[in-house]
Structure 1
């Protein structure tokens, strides 16, 4: 059974409850001072605590989508090793392959013309050779005959690290929110390309082109839009694409919009940070190259490079978010660097979590929709 299986969660909760009840029931019998009684008490306490922490951890993982599998949890995910040739003569015939479809959790969602559709896809970068799964949300209009020749704006939606792409659907409700807002006329129908920025698991590449390693930034800046445009009716002109992300994905979204304004006309960072960290999850991203490190630092880039013609949105909370002061400083920096434009969502309170981001997503989608063209 998989890490995210409901059966695993139920078994863990039941085991924790049984051990708790068993500990209370057996404790009087183990009240003696013999080594067997002491060992029994220690064993029961240890087993109960492990069971309770396991159940709580599984609940948190189900809610926030930190890890997708047991291999992912224990750092043994090796998805980078599978590369499929989808070039001429290859088995797949293209850089993007649809491997499954699912309904959108809305009224009438069983019919794509009413609810749209979510397609699970495998993407292989033409130039970077990065292979990664993703989910593509297609709005109802995509399937309606009167829109059969229309192209649609697209938004790359990124999780944090480690994150799972499924969390964007089940936890953050991007397809459901986009469907409801388009139905109410608050946003235009858009294609959402949902995936995690971890394209070389378990390593956190921070959307950096790592010297001698994964070319993550190039994948998101070129390979992913090219693969999607080759398969779906997506606008190909500048202004057709936006990018949104939370936490690590928020940093990536801002960086992609700043570095590649010709691809991404708008970038929104929910609870982002503004420079790539270096820690055990990232490894050595820059290999001592100061120029590459500066390039990935949004503070440095916006002060020392020509200001890009793009739109940015950042979010934070006055209470509960560690990035609040940095976000205010970043807003002031961008305001001094036209033609780059900046907007923000600042909540009174809200932590670094799904509940906060769900409150920010509707406004973010409305903002990004107003900055994208469908041609």
Structure 2
């Protein structure tokens, strides 16, 4: 970020009071697209204004959805420096799918001062298979601590974080692609319909889609881009980190029409989704930057894509980790913050 941008960000805040491999790594332009900087920080809004965040709830009558129940049984997965990560099993009424979900609530959520405040929600998808593990929960990508640090600095909203399993086997060639593949578990319905229902049943949220974002790295980047394009009524913003954009599971064999309907390379050209995305690529991988840039250039309004290239970045969890602060600041600029009726 330039010195001028840093000063502008500081003034605005004062005013408003990875190691691993490729896709399978378990550790792992404005006719619609907006050409972002090829280096530096992607922390401005689409209007070029600095991104700001605050834990202070905005007065926003009718913006809070209180939990509807029934309450899920949550058990602690592990502690972090910013509070515990919990886990549960969610059975979707619409999909029939049962899968493991990790949940993190920002410390502000349980502060009595915020007892009537709704919080924005960020769903996170991991790289690789995410079969019984999640890199967002095992400290490889310590986004929870980074979120709380940025909240204290006034640079980020405090986000409820939802981190679902993505697959039920370790077969990379036959992954579920975060999709409703015929004859398989209806993962897209579970992820984009049942999980939001679970969140609204259990936690205080911001009404509507304005406070809902999705982010993922590598395979999770594919999932976040695809689901945001398929479900713009659910998600307002997405951050695919070093993702790819063509479904490649062997389970699509014989289902060409359904595969096309779940193909981000097609969806981004249809001009149907009013969503914003920060689309990143690692600068050390020319093939990856070519793939990502090409996809960004295909976007048709109202899809709004901003390209960001991480200087020297490789397709590694250690480099995904470095992207966390910038992505949280960007999401804060594009999603509604905490709101109190």
1:104 aligns with 2:80: yes
Q: Which residue of 1 aligns with 2:161?
A: 192
Q: Which residue of 1 aligns with 2:136?
A: 168
SS in 1 for 2:205: coil
Q: 1:127 aligns with which of 82, 88, 94?
A: 94
**1:292 and 1:117 mapped to 2: Cα distance?**
39
CA deviation vs aligned residue, 1:236-272 (integer Å, no higher than 9, x gap): 3121211000111100100111111110111111110
Q: CA contact under 8 A between 1:96 and 1:231: conserved in structure 2? A: yes
Aligned residue runs from structure 1 range 1-375, under 5 A: 66=26, 94=70, 96-100=72-76, 102-105=78-81, 115-163=82-130, 165-169=133-137, 170-199=139-168, 202=171, 203-277=174-248, 282-285=249-252, 287-303=253-269, 305-320=270-285, 322-334=287-299, 337-373=300-336, 374=338
**2:286 and 2:107 mapped to 1: Cα distance?**
36
**1:197 and 1:190 mapped to 2: Cα distance?**
21
Aligned length: 273
CA root-mean-square deviation: 2.4
SS in 2 for 1:222: helix
Cα displacement (A) at 1:66 = 2.5
Q: CA contact under 8 A between 1:172 and 1:358: conserved in structure 2? A: yes
**2:216 and 2:134 mapped to 1: Cα distance?**
14
Q: CA contact under 8 A between 1:199 and 1:216: conserved in structure 2? A: no
Q: CA contact under 8 A between 1:265 and 1:372: conserved in structure 2? A: yes
Q: Which residue of 2 aligns with 1:20?
A: none
**2:247 and 2:282 mapped to 1: Cα distance?**
21
Q: 1:60 to 1:308 in 2, by over 3 A?
A: closer
Task: Provide TM-score, normalisation by structure 1.
Answer: 0.68
Cα displacement (A) at 1:118 = 1.9
Q: Which residue of 2 aligns with 1:39?
A: none
Query: Which structure is larger by alpha-carbon Rg, 1 or 2?
Result: 1
Q: 1:95 to 1:300 in 2, by over 3 A?
A: farther
Cα displacement (A) at 1:330 = 1.5
Q: Which has the higher contact order (CA 8 A, sep 6+)?
A: 2
List, as ranges, runs of 4+ consecutive aligned residues in structure 1 with deviation greater than 4 Å: 199-203
Unpaired runs of at least 5, structure 1: 1-58, 68-92, 106-114
**2:335 and 2:168 mapped to 1: Cα distance?**
26
SS in 1 for 2:228: helix
Cα displacement (A) at 1:165 = 3.8
Cα displacement (A) at 1:95 = 7.8
Cα displacement (A) at 1:199 = 4.6
**1:226 and 1:200 mapped to 2: Cα distance?**
25
SS in 2 for 1:237: coil
Cα displacement (A) at 1:60 = 7.0
CA deviation vs aligned residue, 1:129-156 (integer Å, no higher than 9, x gap): 2122222111111011110010100000
**1:199 and 1:182 mapped to 2: Cα distance?**
35
SS in 2 for 1:155: strand
**1:60 and 1:247 mapped to 2: Cα distance?**
11
**1:321 and 1:243 mapped to 2: Cα distance?**
26
**2:133 and 2:120 mapped to 1: Cα distance?**
20
